[in-house]
Structure 1
Amino acid sequence: MRKTDVQTASDREIMMQTCVRAEGRDLSECGNDSSGMADAQWWRSSVVYQIYPKSFADSDGDGVGDLRGVIGKLDYLQWLGVNVIWLSPFFVSPMVDNGYDIADYYHVDPLFGTNEDFDELVRQAHARGIRVLCDLVINHCSDQHEWFKKACNDPFSDEHGYFIIRHKNQLNNWRSVFGGSVWEPMPGNPDEYYMHVFAKEQPDLNWENPRLRHELYRMINYWLDHGVDGFRVDAITYIKKDQRFESFPADGPDGLVGVAVGSSNQPGIGAFLTEMRQEVFDRRGCLTVAEASDVPYEQLRDYAGPDGFFSMIFEFHYQDPYVDPDNLAWYAVRPWSVEEWKALVFKAQREQQRLGVWSPTHLECHDSARSISRLLPEATYESVTMLATLFFLLRGTPFIYQGQELGMGNATIDDIDQFDDVFTHDQYRVALEAGLSEQDAFRVVSFRSRDNARTPMQWTPGEHAGFTEGQPWLPINRDWQKTNVEVESDDDTSVLWYYKRLIALRMDPRWSSSLSEGLCTPVFEQKENVVAYDRVGADGSVVRVLCNFQHESVSVSLDDKIRVLLSNVGREGTLSGDTLMLEPYEAIVLA
């Protein structure tokens, strides 16, 4: 995706002057122990790039991305300016849930390479000043894990106690996230059932068992010993279950109730999370970023405050404004307005600041549809870069998902059988059961499917978008010939180059007091469809961000913020006058 107006030469000069990342700094000798508060919180001034290894880059032509493919693209990531990468799971897995069903925590799946490939990736990343985060999936494992096999074969084994297992006469009416009962018969023992919050191939681990917990801590330390700088912690609020395992009033025609009612952010979870932090994370000084759903604002400080369980916690209160909070089925899409959504964004910022909480700022991840398809009525250069600016400069650590920096939109898949995601197929069934036609059911799951974010990364305008020499495991998006790294990196008026400028600005030491550590103060809140805020540094510096979230021009007062730091419509230098007429979908950053 490219811009219609040409960016100025002076803008490019500013970008080059401010691109001050850790380029050339070798982190290979850096340990995981913290050395002072500033170093312990290095992540507050970082930019994180999420990699979905299966879809990032294929080095061996089998149609599936791998770790050596990631190694081959580290120079690109260094050029872009990010200084942290987060790798979605690459461990041994039957891939029922694309790697989030782990069968061996200690080994790289042959699909992605070897443990030696991972060690090389860490070395190569550190040599470029890029830190490495791994996904930590410890609410559940795969039913192919050796622990679960032993639990099935021997009810008196230690491993039997690693899982949540109940007699068939003791089951409740909880519904799994992926549909159906959370209870599944134990293979070989029809009188016993195991619990699974997600797919039936993902048995939940029993965190009440101290032996199991310390097995997990040992595994975490193993990867820290291999140079990992931290973890994104998956589905962590589900590890504590209400031990009464009571049934609750049904919330659907199937007679079941959503599993969260008895297994998400339950009382007592803090004891588990405190123990894990003290036993592992505090001792190693690593970054932890929790996926923690169902955490109300009043509990955020416990999770990600100065003495919280984690370094950061993902904010989900405003991610998908079209989702009906009373009906999480994908077909239940509700109308929303920019004003409503703006209020949610600023409420999150105010609450985090009030509580001293730190969070990622993010638009996309492997579990969501593409942001420009979810949040924009039309995807143009201006609207895409406006949305990027709005999120990237909020208080928090920016996270970019692969392809987001190119302006990739939702997938172009024509048939339900082409979707790989287990959740997509479940929601297609739910929509049909709710009475939708096959056409309408396909339309809603196409909009929400997690596979929208999982189509292969688009590197070139050539065959298979340069992702692979073989047949890609998911179809390539049809926009690959114009939306790809090769085309956009050669065009400094592209979305890719705009993201590069955003990263450079975020890391510019001249504005770090404001953009890295400063407070976020909303301005022009009454100006309809304008999302605007000041980032106010402790040194008194102020950076103002103005985003016109509409296809109409609108005027705002200038005050004394007249120096243009970044613009998506070609403005430069200094502005004069008392007012500024923002163009449709304009984003401008002033100081």
Structure 2
Amino acid sequence: MTKHWWKEAVVYQIYPRSFNDSNGDGIGDIQGIIQKLPYLEKLGIDAVWLSPIYKSPNIDYGYDVADYYEINPEYGNMTDFEELVAKAKKHQIKIIMDLVLNHTSSEHKWFKEAKKGTDNPYHDYYIWRKPEQIKAQLEHEWTRNQWTFVPELGQYYFHLFDYRQPDLNWNNPQMRQELYKMMNFWVEKGVGGFRLDVIDLIGKDPDHGVTVNGPKLHPYLKEMYEAVFAGKDLLTVGETWSAGIKEAKQYIYENSHELTMVFEFQPLLLSQKRGMDKWHPVRINPQLLKKVLLNWQTKLDYEQGWNTLFWSNHDLARTASLLKTNDRHRIAAQKMLVGLQFFLKGTPFIYQGDELGMINVNFSKIEMLRDPESIDLVKKSDDKKTALRLVSQKGRDNARTPMQWNNSSQAGFTTGKSWIDINPNFLQINAQIEEADPNSIFNFYRKLIAIKKQSSILKYGDFEEINDVPAEVLAFMRSDETGSYRVFANLSRKAKRINYHISRKKVVVQNYPIKETGATYLLKPYELLVEKTYN
């Protein structure tokens, strides 16, 4: 197996707007991140993925880029960014940029030029059609909402998201070269790689109703690899909501020459009704979760490709709230999920605040919301109370409330007024409390990160399922020539008995005190047990 730094790394995602505010304007910034580099080093982080920091009108809070070469003034400037890269390096931390290549902001220079005329060279950087070309699409509400008319041109432009986020025309080779040039600009700035936003959409063919996994997707990615990634040991991870194992192999196998990893969402999609959107939440079925996790461990060839291990990000609800546990089991459940992140094979990605056990917010009124998607849901709903309850379960603002650093005003995030309300529970859940408590979720993360860094088994060791356990228990071995770990994780809220003797002397990780020994062992709800054996 080829070794790479990103296979051994622990990655931490920062949503800059909500991480740490250095100047009191209520918005997190680059200098605020620099201030917290010692915290990240203490946690054990190897790389930081920054959600977009480019110039943007913030219709989608940075995922609508107005200038790929300019830092959003709310966050700082290029000098601040260069300082971040340099100082992060001193803390042995690489910076990963978040790139939005499917679309731009309507405020981008390219789009402003594109609207000036059909003969403008930038016009073909976007997808335009005359009304008669898309007559059938305009007759249906779903597809009609993907086109916006520009009267002065007599044409519609295509957008999969907000009308202020026009999709780029990847069929245009000049546009693609402009993007590759921009990516190399950031590589030269010293970044360690890229997270590629909704990358499975760039091969779209709207004339034939194809929006995802289009026929030219993989040729485009191979071209990108040659233009930007080849010969560089970069972490390149794609956001691919559509990817199953078969599709993932096309992206990540080394002979494909595309990406190093993808984010696959199959475990998280179990939290919503099958075939429905996220506003139809359900409790995750432990047996289905087990099946999905095992599939990704056993059906990928890890000699050829690599996997990501994550439970949350800026678009998702909090990890601590994922299993819908009550307060009695919340901490145990999160520790169990975190344990799987570090003992399964792959690269763990931690979202800011998850290491503190931050949880979802009770959004009781629409004025508390900032996410356009959630605001739109509530506005259109006849039952505001139910809509707000759904937003409190699944809305993106759950992940975007500020980091809870201490119990001072505004949770230590800012000396001003935060751009979005702080979760009121910051007095009980914050970094100051977590760091001081040896049994906290924060110190559980630190312990697991330290174990992973020191263990060849957890970096590259073999994976083998343990079969003779209850259906709701995920059990497996990780091993190499130095020894092995035996892992038992109860994915359910009910106790489950396993026919294994648990030796207190061999247990290296657990989320409950071990109170019994014998030929069998009763796993408590969401219990995690890990034994270590040396060869």
Name the TM-score class by shorter chain: over 0.9
Which residue does 1:348 correspond to in 2?
296
Are residue 117 (structure 1) and residue 80 (structure 2) matched?
A: yes
Distance in structure 2 (CA, Å) of the matches to 1:352 and 1:293: 17
Measured against aligned partners, the alpha-carbon deviations of 1:534-584 in whole angstroms (never above 9, x if no partner) come to 1133x2632111122344433323369761121222459xx9643333233
Are residue 202 (structure 1) and residue 165 (structure 2) matched?
A: yes
- How far the C-alpha of 1:155 sits from its partner, in A, is 1.9
Which residue does 1:333 correspond to in 2?
281
Q: Unaligned stretches of 5+ in structure 1?
A: 1-35, 247-260
User: Any conservation in 1 of the 2:502–2:521 contact (CA below 8 Å)?
Assistant: no
User: Any conservation in 2 of the 1:455–1:476 contact (CA below 8 Å)?
Assistant: yes
Are residue 321 (structure 1) and residue 270 (structure 2) matched?
A: yes
1:557 to 499, 523, 528: 499
Could you tell me which amino acid in structure 1 is paired with residue 521 of structure 2? L
Measured against aligned partners, the alpha-carbon deviations of 1:256-288 in whole angstroms (never above 9, x if no partner) come to xxxxx5110112211111000011111433110
User: Any conservation in 1 of the 2:323–2:333 contact (CA below 8 Å)?
Assistant: no
Distance in structure 1 (CA, Å) of the matches to 2:514 and 2:182: 52
> Helix, strand or coil for the counterpart of 2:268?
coil
Which residue does 1:426 correspond to in 2?
376
Could you tell me which amino acid in structure 2 is paired with residue 383 of structure 1? A
Are residue 523 (structure 1) and residue 466 (structure 2) matched?
A: yes
Q: Which moved more, 1:50-59 or 1:484-493?
A: 484-493
Which residue does 2:251 correspond to in 1?
303
User: Any conservation in 1 of the 2:498–2:523 contact (CA below 8 Å)?
Assistant: yes
Which residue does 2:390 correspond to in 1?
444
Distance in structure 1 (CA, Å) of the matches to 2:56 and 2:143: 21
For residues 76-87 of structure 1, what are the structure 2 equivalents within 5 Å? 76-87=39-50
- How far the C-alpha of 1:526 sits from its partner, in A, is 4.5
User: Any conservation in 2 of the 1:362–1:392 contact (CA below 8 Å)?
Assistant: no
Measured against aligned partners, the alpha-carbon deviations of 1:122-171 in whole angstroms (never above 9, x if no partner) come to 00000111111010111100000000000011321111010001112222
User: Any conservation in 2 of the 1:179–1:426 contact (CA below 8 Å)?
Assistant: no
Measured against aligned partners, the alpha-carbon deviations of 1:488-529 in whole angstroms (never above 9, x if no partner) come to 111111111111111111111xx32x2111233222464143
Larger relative contact order (CA 8 Å, sep ≥ 6) = 1
Distance in structure 2 (CA, Å) of the matches to 1:311 and 1:550: 33
Are residue 456 (structure 1) and residue 402 (structure 2) matched?
A: yes
Q: Which moved more, 1:262-271 or 1:54-63?
A: 262-271
Q: CA 1:178–1:288 in structure 2 vs 1: closer, same or farther (change >3 Å)? A: farther
Q: CA 1:49–1:297 in structure 2 vs 1: closer, same or farther (change >3 Å)? A: same
Distance in structure 1 (CA, Å) of the matches to 2:120 and 2:111: 10
Are residue 401 (structure 1) and residue 355 (structure 2) matched?
A: no
TM-score by length of 2: 0.93
Q: Which moved more, 1:460-469 or 1:365-374?
A: 365-374
Q: CA 1:318–1:177 in structure 2 vs 1: closer, same or farther (change >3 Å)? A: farther
Distance in structure 2 (CA, Å) of the matches to 1:147 and 1:528: 54
User: Any conservation in 2 of the 1:176–1:199 contact (CA below 8 Å)?
Assistant: no
1:494 to 424, 436, 440: 440
Are residue 312 (structure 1) and residue 261 (structure 2) matched?
A: yes
Could you tell me which amino acid in structure 2 is paired with residue 585 of structure 1? Y
Q: Which moved more, 1:468-477 or 1:515-524?
A: 515-524
Q: CA 1:62–1:94 in structure 2 vs 1: closer, same or farther (change >3 Å)? A: same
Distance in structure 2 (CA, Å) of the matches to 1:97 and 1:45: 32
For residues 506-517 of structure 1, what are the structure 2 equivalents within 5 Å? 506-508=452-454, 511-512=455-456, 514-517=457-460
Q: Which moved more, 1:117-126 or 1:377-386?
A: 377-386
Which residue does 1:388 correspond to in 2?
338
User: Any conservation in 2 of the 1:92–1:107 contact (CA below 8 Å)?
Assistant: yes
Distance in structure 1 (CA, Å) of the matches to 2:138 and 2:180: 29
User: Any conservation in 2 of the 1:534–1:544 contact (CA below 8 Å)?
Assistant: yes
Q: Which moved more, 1:387-396 or 1:148-157?
A: 387-396
Which residue does 1:33 correspond to in 2?
none
Which residue does 1:217 correspond to in 2?
180
User: Any conservation in 2 of the 1:320–1:374 contact (CA below 8 Å)?
Assistant: no
Distance in structure 2 (CA, Å) of the matches to 1:307 and 1:485: 43
User: Any conservation in 2 of the 1:175–1:181 contact (CA below 8 Å)?
Assistant: no
Which residue does 1:481 correspond to in 2?
427
Q: Which moved more, 1:480-489 or 1:277-286?
A: 277-286
Q: Unaligned stretches of 5+ in structure 2?
A: none
Q: CA 1:106–1:54 in structure 2 vs 1: closer, same or farther (change >3 Å)? A: same
TM-score by length of 1: 0.85
Are residue 533 (structure 1) and residue 476 (structure 2) matched?
A: yes
1:359 to 281, 303, 307: 307
Distance in structure 1 (CA, Å) of the matches to 2:141 and 2:211: 11
Q: CA 1:416–1:200 in structure 2 vs 1: closer, same or farther (change >3 Å)? A: same
Which residue does 2:417 correspond to in 1?
471
Which residue does 1:6 correspond to in 2?
none
Distance in structure 2 (CA, Å) of the matches to 1:177 and 1:134: 35
Which residue does 1:53 correspond to in 2?
16
Are residue 582 (structure 1) and residue 523 (structure 2) matched?
A: yes
Distance in structure 2 (CA, Å) of the matches to 1:318 and 1:176: 32
> Helix, strand or coil for the counterpart of 1:499?
helix
Distance in structure 1 (CA, Å) of the matches to 2:82 and 2:138: 41
Could you tell me which amino acid in structure 2 is paired with residue 425 of structure 1? I
Q: Which moved more, 1:367-376 or 1:195-204?
A: 367-376
